[in-house]
Structure 1
Amino acid sequence: MSAPPYHPVVPANPADADAIVACWWTLMAVHGPIDGRMYETVPDAQRVYREHVRRQIDASKGVVLVAPTPDEQGIKGYLLGGLGQRSKVYAVREVGMIFDVAVHPDHRRQGVGEALVQAALRRFRLRGLSDVQVTWSPENRLAHGFWQKMGFAPLLIEAYRKL
C-alpha cells in the first residue's frame, strides 16, 4: 500500500482571499440543493465572505489554512476555523471550531481535505485544546463519511423550524 500524496498546507494570507471565496462558492453550490432556504445567499455574498475571510486571517483566534497548487498560483482547498468558548459551567471551556472545509473539484478525493484538517488539528493541539467541533448537513453524505473518517462523531443535533 502506497503512502497518501503529500499536500502542503500553509496559513492563508490576505492575497489568498479571492481563491478562498471561489472555493467556498463551490461549497455553497453543494449546500444550496440540500436546503435552498437556509443556504440562500445574499446578492453580495462573495464580497461579504471575502471580508469575513480577511478578518479571520488577521484574528489571533482565527485558523485559516490553504493547500496551494504546485505552482502556488492558486489553491487546491482551504479550511476556515477558530477558537470557540463554551459556557463556564463546562470543564472543557475552549474548543477548536472548523467552520468550512472546501476542496476545488479538480482536487477532490486526493487527500487535500484530510491534509487541511490534520494541519488544523495540529494547530489546535499546539494551543492546548483538547476538543474540536465541526458541523455538517446530515443530507451531505460525502461530508458525513469524510468527518467520520477524520474521527468525528455526532454529539448534538441542531434543528431548525420555519416560523
Structure 2
Amino acid sequence: MNVRSFQLSDYRLLTALLADVLTEECYEQTMEAFARQLSWDSELVLVALYESEVVGVIIGTIDNNTGYYYRVAVHADHQRQGIGKALIESLRLRFQQRQVKKILITADEHNEAVLPLYESLGYVSKDFFRSFQQLSIIAG
C-alpha cells in the first residue's frame, strides 16, 4: 500500500469510492468540501493505493495554525487493514511539516463511527471538534 497526495487522475476513482462508502448526505457534503480543499491546498488530500487502485482517502485542512482531519474513507473490501491509520498518520506528518499548533478531528454526525480509529492512535475527546459546520465554513 502507498499513500500519496491526490492527483487529478484520481478524481473519478476517488469520487466512486466516496459514493460507495458514504451516505448520500455525507457524500454531498464531502464533495463540496473536497472541491474547496483542492482549490485551497491539494497537498492535504491524500489517497491510499493498493496495486494502483484507490482504496482510501483522507481530506484535511488548516485554519489559523490548527490542522483538521475532515473525512477519512476506506473501501469496504480494504477496511481493518491499517489503511485508515496510515492515512491519518500521513496527514499528521503533513500537519507537522506545516508546523500546525494543534490537530483536531471533525466529529460531525458522519464521523462518529470512525472516532474509535482516532482514539486507537492516541487522540482523546478534547481533540474532537464537535461542530456541524462544513469544511468550507471552518477554513473559509
TM-score tier (shorter)? 0.7 to 0.9
- Please give the secondary structure, in 2, of the residue aligned with 1:151: coil
Q: Percent same amino acid among aligned pairs?
A: 24
**What is the CA deviation profile of residues 42-78 of structure 1, one whole-angstrom value per residue up to 9, with x for unaligned ones?**
xxx39x82x65344234237500001121x1x21100
- The TM-score normalised by the length of structure 2 is 0.76
Would you say the 8 A contact 1:14–1:57 is kept in 2? no
- Please give the secondary structure, in 1, of the residue aligned with 2:2: coil
User: 1:59 & 1:77 partners in 2: Cα distance?
Assistant: 21
Q: Mark the structure with the bigger radius of gyration.
A: 1
Would you say the 8 A contact 1:67–1:78 is kept in 2? yes
Deviation at 1:125, TM superposition (A): 0.3
What RMSD, in angstroms, separates the aligned Cα atoms of the two structures? 3.0
- Please give the secondary structure, in 1, of the residue aligned with 2:41: coil
User: 1:40 & 1:61 partners in 2: Cα distance?
Assistant: 20
The structure richer in helix per residue is 2
The correspondence of residues 79-98 of structure 1 with structure 2, limited to 5 A, is 79-85=58-64, 94-98=65-69
Would you say the 8 A contact 1:66–1:77 is kept in 2? yes
Partner of 2:122: 151
Deviation at 1:140, TM superposition (A): 6.5
The correspondence of residues 55-66 of structure 1 with structure 2, limited to 5 A, is 55-60=36-41, 63-66=44-47
- Please give the secondary structure, in 2, of the residue aligned with 1:109: coil
Would you say the 8 A contact 1:137–1:143 is kept in 2? no
- Please give the secondary structure, in 2, of the residue aligned with 1:9: strand
User: 1:159 & 1:98 partners in 2: Cα distance?
Assistant: 13
Would you say the 8 A contact 1:20–1:78 is kept in 2? yes
**What is the CA deviation profile of residues 80-122 of structure 1, one whole-angstrom value per residue up to 9, with x for unaligned ones?**
111022xxxxxxxx11111110000010000000110110000
Runs of at least 5 residues in structure 2 that lack an aligned partner in the other structure: 133-140
The correspondence of residues 24-35 of structure 1 with structure 2, limited to 5 A, is 24-29=18-23
- Please give the secondary structure, in 1, of the residue aligned with 2:107: coil
The correspondence of residues 1-163 of structure 1 with structure 2, limited to 5 A, is 7-29=1-23, 39=25, 45=28, 49=31, 52-60=33-41, 63-70=44-51, 72=52, 74-85=53-64, 94-136=65-107, 142-155=113-126, 158=130
The structure richer in strand per residue is 2
**What is the CA deviation profile of residues 16-42 of structure 1, one whole-angstrom value per residue up to 9, with x for unaligned ones?**
12222222223423xx7xxxxxx477x
Cα distance change, pair 137–55 in 1 and its aligned pair in 2 (3 A): closer
**Total equivalences in the alignment:** 131
- The TM-score normalised by the length of structure 1 is 0.66
